[in-house]
Amino acid sequence: MGEVAIVRSEKKTGESNVELIKDRVRRGVRELQAYSVPHIDCRVKLDGNESPFTLPEEVLREVVSAASKIPYNRYPDPDAGSLRRQISKMVGFPPEGIVLGNGSDELIEMLLIAFSGGTGGVLIPVPTFSMYGIMARALELELIEVELDGDFDIDIDKTVETIESKDPDLIFLASPNNPTGNCFSKEKILKILDVSSGMVVVDEAYFDFSGLSVLPLLEKYPNLIVLRTMSKIGFASLRLGIALSGPELASELDKVRLPYNINSFTQACAEVVQKNPGFIAQNIQLIVRERDRLLRALSSMEGVEAFPSDANFVLIRVEDADGVWGGLVERGVLVRNFNSPGRLRNCLRVTAGAPEENDAFLAALKGVLSP
């Protein structure tokens, strides 16, 4: 075979490396803002929708024992077979329909890569979880945004109209939705499934706090994919997301999965914690109680509009979100500031933490609002 001559464009005098690199960056990536989560050290951290509870001592000991048996010089099990079978038993879903990701973030990216070969359209209701839009833009897919209605539920007429005119390859519905906190109406999700010929992804990252799932609909709708994650119930550090679908979809999705995407430690640790479901369920119950307590307290505060939540966080609107956010940080409490023009104007999102963290937040908020 003859040698291939690679002709590199000459670097022009005065052209900086930054300019050279720019030419090679995909347009979709160039136009993106970097997704940055500000890392601010605060005594009370209620900004990431994480669980406030780490592992109980006895489970931690089992994790350490399992970790000591990992052959660290070897690649992980590429299919995470044992973990997948365990998840299959727990969820009551066949292993052939389960694809695991390095967090559900990775599954979102894989879905966009694998299932955008038709119209290239991706429909999302807004506001919603930002990663759908970020990855769709990076991949230069056509992002189609439809505003949620006045109750942050799906605007079904506009959505159906858009599906009929644009025929999107993928629709992402986070239910409960982030950052609004509410579940979408089941009838509206059903309607979307009925009229869509593309994939409908129902992202149930916060399912454990709502108890509402569309999983039983998988039998009827071959274009439905359900996403779950271990991140919100105490295991954000493990990075383990779960996609549940029919076996045909799962095998297409699996083709774009990077080999060894679930590292050995995550596989071992997730197996141990899932064998001990008791403490996870107890923590979820406590978080739901705390969320409802937060919601009641916030709803009765002057100058605060609190939105109903089915998740592990509460969205609130205040008069001056930037000022309130800064005041909370000064008092050692970190929440997420969503203040931006449009539906999330002056909105802050607070994660339900441990009881003492929520007390600290409520006291700090009172202090900021009426100094």
Ligand X SMILES: Cc1ncc(COP(=O)(O)O)c(C=O)c1O
Stretch that binds ligand X, among 97-105, 251-259, 261-269, 356-364 (CB under 6 A): 97-105
Residue span 123-162 as binding mask against ligand X, x where in contact by CB under 6 A, dash where not: ------x---------------------------------
- State the nearest-atom distance from the C-beta of 310 to ligand X, in Å: 12
Which of 306, 288, 272 minimizes the C-alpha distance to 207? 288
Please state the separation of Cα 150 from the chain's center in Å: 23
Measured CA angle at 79 (ends 134, 89), to 5 deg: 95
Beta bridge mates, 350: 314
Query: Residue 346, interface with ligand X (CB under 6 A)?
Result: no
Q: Which residue is nearest to ligand X (CB)?
A: 103
Q: Binding residues for ligand X, how many (CB under 6 A)?
A: 13
Query: Residue 310, interface with ligand X (CB under 6 A)?
Result: no
Query: Residue 272, interface with ligand X (CB under 6 A)?
Result: no
Site for ligand X in 187-246 (CB under 6 A): 203, 205, 229, 231, 236, 241
Helix boundaries (H) for the chain = 17-24, 27-30, 57-68, 81-91, 103-114, 130-138, 156-166, 186-195, 207-210, 247-255, 264-274, 277-299, 321-330, 355-369
Site for ligand X in 10-29 (CB under 6 A): none
Burial class, 85, CB count within 10 angstroms (exposed 0-12 / middle 13-18 / buried 19+)? middle
Structure tokens at 92: 């009551």
- By beta-carbon proximity to ligand X, the closer residue of 124 and 316 is 124
Which of 242, 221, 239, 203 minimizes the C-alpha distance to 86? 242
Three-class secondary structure of residue 216 per DSSP: helix
- State the nearest-atom distance from the C-beta of 37 to ligand X, in Å: 10
- State the nearest-atom distance from the C-beta of 84 to ligand X, in Å: 16
- State the nearest-atom distance from the C-beta of 131 to ligand X, in Å: 6
- State the nearest-atom distance from the C-beta of 241 to ligand X, in Å: 4
Query: Residue 178, interface with ligand X (CB under 6 A)?
Result: yes
Stretch that binds ligand X, among 101-109, 133-141, 149-157, 272-280 (CB under 6 A): 101-109
Query: Residue 49, interface with ligand X (CB under 6 A)?
Result: yes
Which of 174, 250, 297, 318 is close enough to bind ligand X by CB under 6 A? 174
Please state the separation of Cα 5 from the chain's center in Å: 45
- On whether the CB atoms of residues 215 and 243 are closer than 8 A, the answer is no
- State the nearest-atom distance from the C-beta of 347 to ligand X, in Å: 15
Stretch that binds ligand X, among 15-23, 100-108, 253-261, 265-273 (CB under 6 A): 100-108
- On whether the CB atoms of residues 144 and 171 are closer than 8 A, the answer is no
Name the strand (E) or helix (H) holding 225: strand 224-229
Stretch that binds ligand X, among 102-110, 187-195, 339-347, 361-369 (CB under 6 A): 102-110
Please state the separation of Cα 302 from the chain's center in Å: 31
- List of residues contacting ligand X (CB under 6 A): 49, 103-105, 129, 174, 178, 203, 205, 229, 231, 236, 241
